Amino acid sequence: MHIKQVTCPRCGALSIVDGGLFEIGTVRLKCTNCAFYFEPAGSPRSKTIAEVTNANVEVTIWEPEDAR
Contact criterion met (CB below 8 Å) for 28 and 20: no
Residue type for position 24: I
Closer CB to another protein, 42 or 66, in the complex: 66
Q: Which residues, in sequence order, are bridge partners of residue 5?
A: 16
5 sits in which H/E element: strand 3-7
- Within residues 2-31, the interface with another protein by CB under 8 A covers 2-4, 15-21, 27-30
> To the nearest whole angstrom, how small is the minimum distance from the Cβ of residue 49 to another protein?
7
Count the residues of the shown chain that bind another protein, applying the rule CB under 8 A.
32
Residues that bind another protein (CB under 8 A): 1-4, 15-21, 27-30, 32, 49, 52-66
